[in-house]
Structure 1
């Protein structure tokens, strides 16, 4: 599938029209106002939304990611990666992840990292198929 991959910023109409609905598939608690506030604040912290569009202009996948300098080296951290359910298993997610890896290399990163919910077994299969390893456990405590 031919895809057009581009970054979408909070001032673009595509953020609410194309990006937000896909992000909400992973984060259903984000209403319209909450998503807009999150996107603006996170963009100010370096978060980038990258969208993959098919030739008909339909947004088929989105990644929210940022570059971090860590004690483990410079890395591209993917906060969210989601593919439109109608486009899953068509190569869209793999294409977008490959684009992120290329970007990470160009920006001097040593790796791409992401978290995946423990119950999201489909995503786990997808990441393992792309030779991603489970290298840590992510712990959290609600406040």
Structure 2
């Protein structure tokens, strides 16, 4: 599949027209206003929003990612990876992961890392098929007033 990965910044009309709908499908608890606030704050913290466009100019997938210096080496951490539900199983996710892998190499990273919800078995199969391994458990502790 021929895709054109394009980085999109807050303020660009493609953020609300293309990226926001796909990320809201992945993160349904977010409102549009929540997403807009998140996008500005996270971008300021180094989050990159990469949209994958098909040959017709349709946004078919989105990855959000950042390069982090860690005690385990420099990594490209993928916060979100989502393909439009109507376009899945067409090689889009594979192509986007390959793009992220190349970006990681170019940035001097030793690994691409991401978290996946424990119940998202379809995503787990996808990641395993791309030779990704489960290397850690991610623990959380809520500290908010909710």
Q: TM-score, normalised by structure 1?
A: 0.98
| Counterparts of 2:30 and 2:59, CA distance in 1 | 19
Deviating above 4 A after TM superposition, structure 1's stretches of 4 or more consecutive aligned residues are none
- Who is 1:52 aligned against? 52
| Counterparts of 1:25 and 1:136, CA distance in 2 | 26
Residues 1-143 of structure 1 aligned to structure 2 (within 5 Å): 1-143=1-143
- What are the Cα deviations for residues 64-103 of structure 1, in whole angstroms up to 9, with x where unaligned? 0000000000000000000001111000010001000000
| Secondary structure at the counterpart of residue 137 of structure 1 | coil
| Secondary structure at the counterpart of residue 46 of structure 1 | coil
Instruction: Name stretches of at least 5 consecutive residues in structure 2 with no aligned partner.
Output: none
- What are the Cα deviations for residues 40-61 of structure 1, in whole angstroms up to 9, with x where unaligned? 0000000000010111111100
- What are the Cα deviations for residues 7-31 of structure 1, in whole angstroms up to 9, with x where unaligned? 0110200001100111111211111
| Counterparts of 1:79 and 1:2, CA distance in 2 | 23
Instruction: Name stretches of at least 5 consecutive residues in structure 1 with no aligned partner.
Output: none
Aligned-CA RMSD value: 0.6
| Counterparts of 1:52 and 1:31, CA distance in 2 | 23
- What are the Cα deviations for residues 90-134 of structure 1, in whole angstroms up to 9, with x where unaligned? 000100010000000000000000000000000000000000000
